[in-house]
Amino acid sequence: MSCALTDRFGRTIRYLRLSVTDRCDLRCVYCMAEDMQFVPRRDLLTLEELDRLASAFVARGVSKIRITGGEPLVRKDIMTLFRSLSRHLRNGVIEELTLTTNGTQLANHADALAAVGVRRVNVSLDTLDADRFRALTRRGVLGTVMDGLRAAREAGLRIKLNTVALKGITETEIFDLIDFAHGHGMDLTLIETMPLGDVGVDRTDQYLPLTELRSLIERRFTLTDTPERSGGPARYTRVAETGGRLGFITPMTHNFCESCNRVRVSATGVLYTCLGQEERTDLRSALRGSEGDDLLNAAIERAIKRKPKGHDFAIGPDLRPALGRHMSALGG
């Protein structure tokens, strides 16, 4: 293995979040606009190129790969990529191959994912109310996601539910969400909404600080902070009354940049070393510029050395989105 990728602040990159598409079959109100303009399919990396790119990061010490979108399971023949990348699991080179999904396609893929070595998945779920689910996603059917969760459990996959905290919504459902998740053996992670892309609504109206939500939760439940980590930015607590784990991702109220070990690559081969900055590096040209990986490795190395110390997220009534890029371009 070549020397590990370490940035100028001493943070070693161990985690790659690889987007395979910016397309999604939902239009969640905090993530996407009603009418999205997606990247032309001809501009996407092929599945073979995605594998080669991810493998270059593995050769430099990345030990966790998360496949993201958009909705990754809408990418045609996506299991081909999972099967190919799973060789790194079998060889013991990486610790984990996983994905974040909205759950709508999970029932069709859960068994296949488990068969190639995926052991856990993150599923986005912001409400347990069918009418509200359709409103938040602008088109989704809650029952389809529930079928996906059931299939994932039956396939032996561990599940973490991701819930974006939305003012006026999450406060009314948080106890039901905790009971549902922990009652089915699933973790639940709460996430502050982030100012990425124009989604057609005022983010000030959406934003719910997790400090407020935690105070609400503690009116009923006893939370104990733990040192547990899953490789991402979540900080975890244990809920005494349920025995389950509850995570908090707080990019707005308390960023997690000091320990960031992650980079993200878009489905078009653009490397972002920070979700909250526009610093980017085109890896597609390097990938296609030669049959070997020297150009690709050099581009990755240069990008990591420019990784910023942290992001500049802010939400306010007079602020435009921090970045024009929608969340669906890279996943979370």
| Euclidean distance between CA atoms 122 and 64, whole angstroms | 14
Mean pLDDT, residues 169-184 taken together: 98
CA dist 204 → 69, 168, 276, 318 (Å)? 25, 12, 18, 9
The answer to whether domain 15-329 has CATH 2.30.30.90 is no
Which of the four pLDDT bands, split at 50, 70 and 90, describes residue 204? Answer: low
Average per-residue pLDDT in the chain? 90
Which of the four pLDDT bands, split at 50, 70 and 90, describes residue 216? Answer: very high
- Given this model, what pLDDT does residue 198 score? 53
32 annotated to a ligand binding site = no
- Given this model, what pLDDT does residue 253 score? 57
Checking if the pLDDT of 321 tops 50, the result is no
31 annotated to a ligand binding site = yes
Which of the four pLDDT bands, split at 50, 70 and 90, describes residue 277? Answer: confident
| Euclidean distance between CA atoms 13 and 100, whole angstroms | 20
- Given this model, what pLDDT does residue 30 score? 86
The rounded Cα 266 to chain-centroid distance in angstroms is 12
- Given this model, what pLDDT does residue 256 score? 65
100 annotated to a ligand binding site = yes
Mean pLDDT, residues 250-255 taken together: 66
The label of the residue with tokens 């990425």 reads: 196
Q: What percent of the chain has pLDDT over 70?
A: 88
Mean pLDDT, residues 156-163 taken together: 98
- 97 contacts 65 by C-beta, under 8 angstroms: yes
3 annotated to a ligand binding site = no
Q: What is the 3-state secondary structure (H, E, C) of the chain?
A: CCCCCECCCCCECCEEEEECCCCCCCCCCCCCCCCCCCCCHHHCCCHHHHHHHHHHHHHCCCCEEEEECCCHHHCCCHHHHHHHHHHHHHCCCCCEEEEEECCCCHHHHHHHHHHCCCCEEEEECCCCCHHHHHHHHCCCCHHHHHHHHHHHHHCCCEEEEEEEEECCCHHHHHHHHHHHHHHCCCEEEEEECCCECCCCCCHHHHECCHHHHHHHHCCCCCEEECCCCCCCCCEEEEECCCCCEEEEECCCCCCCHHHCCEEEECCCCEEECCCCCCCEEECHHHHHCCCCCHHHHHHHHHHHHCCCCCCCCCCCCCCCCCECCCHHHCCC
Of the candidate ranges 156-165, 197-206, 314-323, the one whose mean pLDDT is the lowest:
314-323
Enumerate the domain spans of the chain: 15-329
Checking if the pLDDT of 215 tops 90, the result is yes
Mean pLDDT, residues 86-107 taken together: 98
Which of the four pLDDT bands, split at 50, 70 and 90, describes residue 221? Answer: very high
150 annotated to a ligand binding site = no
Q: What is the pLDDT of residues 122-150, one digit of tens each?
A: 999 999 999 999 999 999 999 999 999 99
Mean pLDDT, residues 113-119 taken together: 98
Checking if the pLDDT of 309 tops 70, the result is yes
- Given this model, what pLDDT does residue 34 score? 84
Checking if the pLDDT of 291 tops 90, the result is no
Residue 247: is the preceding peptide bond cis (ω within 30°)? no
- Given this model, what pLDDT does residue 1 score? 46
Mean pLDDT, residues 66-94 taken together: 97
The label of the residue with tokens 């910016």 reads: 22
